[in-house]
Structure 1
Amino acid sequence: MAGVRILMLTLGVLMFVCLWGATEAVGGAKSRPRPQRRPRKKPKVDPIDVTPPQKNVDIQQMTGTWYLLNMASKCSYLINHGTKVEPTLMTLTMSPTSDQSLLVNTKTRHNHQCWEIMQMYHLTSTPGRLTLPGTHPDLNIDIVIGETDYTSYAIMYYQKRGKITMKLYGRSVDNLLEPLLTKFEQLAEKQALGLAYLFPFPTYSHCGDVDQHHKINCVPTC
């Protein structure tokens, strides 16, 4: 009889141990922290995408001659040689073969010679946004006509590989008001282009006759 009691007691202890072990296992599983999913990376937004063009830009009214008056850029060449920039003049003409293309002729001085750089901007489905194709899509330059009144000034944004350059153009070199220059500086500041990255261009001695012609598809934004 005593042997039976000992056997029953032993079985009871074994069942208790088994049940306790199972409970601990289940409890342990519940107490483990569940692996956390990594937060999804926010899609990259290029600066040019948050820089809307002026509403209802009339590209025909943009044609004609523009003088480069000021530039905001972190271009290393400008940072090192910004005091040696040359007078620069840009002429815009609608392409005779396509109403979706804009011919861009830029005259400037290089090595004491007058150069003419010829490019073609492509219009996009958004008025005021253009593209200068590169040799590879990664080298395309996106262009936005940020603000203009067509008759006196134009503020344009150029982006290449996520870096922004801003340019202030005038129809002439002597009728630009000081408040507009201040506005350009304020807009540049919003692009993290403070006074250290502003480079005024000469307003005299622009090129007349051209010594060198260069037809290229893509140049650096600066």
Structure 2
Amino acid sequence: MVGLWRCTLAVMLTCVYLWGSGDAVGGAKSRPRPQKRPPKKPKITPIDLTEPAQNIDIERMLGRWYLLNSASKCSYLINHGTKVEPTVMTITRTPTSNEMLSVSTKTRHNHQCWEILQVYHLNPGTPGRLTLKAHPEDNIEIVIGETDYDSYAIMYYQKRGMITVKLYGRFLNNLSEPLLTKFEELAAKQNFQRAYHFPFPTYSMSNIILIR
């Protein structure tokens, strides 16, 4: 009987040994699959945190606007900010679509008039947000931040994460002290100190005749 138990124990130990050897020799153990990385959170840019004015009425934004001041870290303005010329923006409806605006921007260079024609696409879900489309990385996102439609509009423009704040007026030399203070406060929220403010020259009648 004792011999039988010894034989049975020997067989069991042999099976355990062979099982362990087969597991090691027959092939490597399967490695755990690498876990998928969580998707990257979308990058938040300054324009995403800038809310448009409530209940924007695009129809009341149509017409002529004179550029009065700009806050930006654009290299061109930093290098040529003292040489900026009067600039007039005219907004109209496009004849082919209610979801786009035609924008004409006129300025002077070497005593000649230059006109830039662009199309702004409206954001149907968020009135007051617009896009000037190019290659996706070069799109310009636009927000109408504040306006009373009749005298001033403060607009934000962002390209490649760099934002610019612009102050427009409906009338010539329509830059009152309270309006300038409002613009400076909003520009400061975008980290623009006064060194990055670029006032545009006074609009004389000769300037307006030249760029009309």
Q: Normalising to structure 2: TM-score of the pair?
A: 0.77
Structure 2: distance between partners of 1:97 and 1:209: 30
Q: Is 1:206 matched with 2:207?
A: yes
Residues 175 and 77 from structure 1, CA distance in 2 versus in 1: closer, same or farther, beyond 3 angstroms? closer
Structure 2: distance between partners of 1:70 and 1:195: 11
Matched residue SS, 2:201: coil
Alignment map for 1:63-142 (pairs within 5 Å): 63-125=62-124, 126-134=126-134, 136-142=135-141
Structure 2: distance between partners of 1:206 and 1:95: 27
Structure 2: distance between partners of 1:119 and 1:203: 25
Alignment map for 1:35-50 (pairs within 5 Å): 43-50=42-49
Q: Is 1:161 matched with 2:160?
A: yes
Instruction: Name the counterpart of 1:28.
Output: none
The one-letter amino acid paired with 1:86 is E
Residues 39 and 193 from structure 1, CA distance in 2 versus in 1: closer, same or farther, beyond 3 angstroms? farther
The one-letter amino acid paired with 1:74 is K
Query: What 5-or-longer segments of structure 1 have no aligned partner?
Result: 1-37, 212-222
Instruction: Name the counterpart of 1:11.
Output: none
CA drift of 1:44 comes to 2.1
CA drift of 1:208 comes to 3.3
Query: What 5-or-longer segments of structure 2 have no aligned partner?
Result: 1-36
Q: Deviations over 1:200-220 (max 9, x none)?
A: 001224343569xxxxxxxxx
CA drift of 1:185 comes to 0.6
Structure 2: distance between partners of 1:39 and 1:139: 27
Structure 2: distance between partners of 1:80 and 1:129: 30
Instruction: Name the counterpart of 1:188.
Output: 187
The one-letter amino acid paired with 1:127 is P
Q: Deviations over 1:94-125 (max 9, x none)?
A: 11111111010111001221111111101012
Do the aligned residues in 2 keep the contact of 1:68 with 1:90 (CA within 8 Å)? yes
Instruction: Name the counterpart of 2:28.
Output: none
Q: Normalising to structure 1: TM-score of the pair?
A: 0.73
Instruction: Name the counterpart of 2:171.
Output: 172
Do the aligned residues in 2 keep the contact of 1:124 with 1:131 (CA within 8 Å)? yes
The one-letter amino acid paired with 1:128 is G
Matched residue SS, 2:130: strand
Residues 39 and 150 from structure 1, CA distance in 2 versus in 1: closer, same or farther, beyond 3 angstroms? same
Structure 2: distance between partners of 1:39 and 1:96: 46
Structure 2: distance between partners of 1:106 and 1:148: 19
Identity of aligned residues (%): 71
The one-letter amino acid paired with 2:44 is V
Do the aligned residues in 1 keep the contact of 2:107 with 2:211 (CA within 8 Å)? no
Aligned residues: 173
Do the aligned residues in 1 keep the contact of 2:129 with 2:143 (CA within 8 Å)? yes
Do the aligned residues in 2 keep the contact of 1:109 with 1:207 (CA within 8 Å)? no
Structure 2: distance between partners of 1:41 and 1:92: 38
Alignment map for 1:23-34 (pairs within 5 Å): none
CA drift of 1:171 comes to 0.2
Do the aligned residues in 2 keep the contact of 1:67 with 1:171 (CA within 8 Å)? yes
